[in-house]
Structure 1
């Protein structure tokens, strides 16, 4: 049976609209306002990551997932590959925005790693209910306004990898429906929370962490949770 990803499609539209609204305000926004918006977004992202990570049930599984996932990502050079993809998009649309790549990668990670992206995609796949993703769409739309005002058009193009990721998770959930438990989803959420803390560190410019290389952690935590 063909599955129409209503939640993911609405999410894409919200990101695109929010990104363009943010870009419209960007030229009229004083540098001081842009900076404080950026810092506020970073702090809010940090709070979200902490709240998600506190849900962890087995710290050892989380640690092994982050470490092993990071090693796999580093060996596969995922960060560089994603960066090259963003650079390719930038050249294709002939954008002169210096923050295009940073904006595309930051927005993509923020929208994809959150618990609502994971749980929402699973919920649409397992129960055919897009409610969580529709709620996430509204939140992402407002976040896209702030990101668009700070980074520019790169935020709009993050909608493409977000759709691929969320729809992929939905199809993944449909196929592996018998194996997912609430405990696995909780561990997955906690691991995502740690990665979101990393995003906030990047946004606040405290230190640049190659979070793209840690994305395999989200797969490793599912495997380890099933095994142990």
Structure 2
């Protein structure tokens, strides 16, 4: 069944969030702060590992780096487009709408929790590769694996940041569902080089999310999202 991977990934993200809410009720603010920092550290190293994995290689027995031009161009061009559209503001407005529609007007951290969790679970190559596999071969395995990872991340983030994290399942559903439906159209441009570029830039954005968890609002990560599109296009030329 085409689309099954998206449905399972979304359901697992919601389940992780609900578990995090139930768990979060039994821990003190001091423990929540410690959990938040542990989450931030995990996200930092997930992003760092992905970025270094894409940039570093071994040639003639030596460790060499590459992809610098692609990263600089992708992030710079992505930032220009993102700031022009002001994606951070648009996503924040949607978060505010969700906040009031879900009766969470008194939750001051709802929007930040929603945006942070959404960026953490939506950025990355697994979502794109898995959606293409699901759309073309009806193979949901990659998205199911991603869903298991997302469930753990959303659970921990919900316990430390609040129920806004649960609604990160919405952008996951929209993003992966759209890619699944468009899989046959985008497959030709998703070469191995394009996926490698996307993975590297996506990992840098995930690292930026981790930085924001520790030093609030250091980066406007949502405004950098077009960088992953630029990274894919970079591979074509």
So what's the TM-score if we normalise by structure 1? 0.93
The partner residue of 2:130 within 112, 117, 120 is 120
Change (3 A) 1:87 1:203: same
Where does residue 91 of structure 1 map in the other structure? 100
Given that 2:13 and 2:150 are in contact with CA atoms closer than 8 Å, whether structure 1 keeps it comes out as: yes
Comparing 190-199 with 171-180, which one deviates more in the overlay? 171-180
Instruction: Measure the CA separation in 2 of the matches of 1:122 and 1:201.
Output: 30
Cα deviation per residue 1:138-171 (whole Å; 9 max; x = unaligned)? 1111111111111222111111111111122233
Where does residue 35 of structure 1 map in the other structure? 33
Instruction: Measure the CA separation in 2 of the matches of 1:179 and 1:83.
Output: 31
Cα deviation per residue 1:158-187 (whole Å; 9 max; x = unaligned)? 111111111222334321222321111001
Instruction: Measure the CA separation in 2 of the matches of 1:116 and 1:35.
Output: 29
Does 2:42 correspond to 1:58?
no
Cα deviation per residue 1:92-137 (whole Å; 9 max; x = unaligned)? 1221211110111011000011332233223323433211110111
Does 2:222 correspond to 1:212?
yes
Comparing 121-130 with 43-52, which one deviates more in the overlay? 121-130
The partner residue of 2:205 within 160, 185, 195 is 195
Given that 1:103 and 1:154 are in contact with CA atoms closer than 8 Å, whether structure 2 keeps it comes out as: yes
5+ residue gaps in structure 1?
none
Instruction: Measure the CA separation in 1 of the matches of 2:126 and 2:38.
Output: 20
Q: 1:13, CA displacement in angstroms?
A: 0.7
Does 2:77 correspond to 1:79?
no
5+ residue gaps in structure 2?
56-65
Where does residue 9 of structure 1 map in the other structure? 7
* Runs of 4+ deviating beyond 6 Å: none
Instruction: Say how many residue pairs are matched.
Output: 225
So what's the TM-score if we normalise by structure 2? 0.89
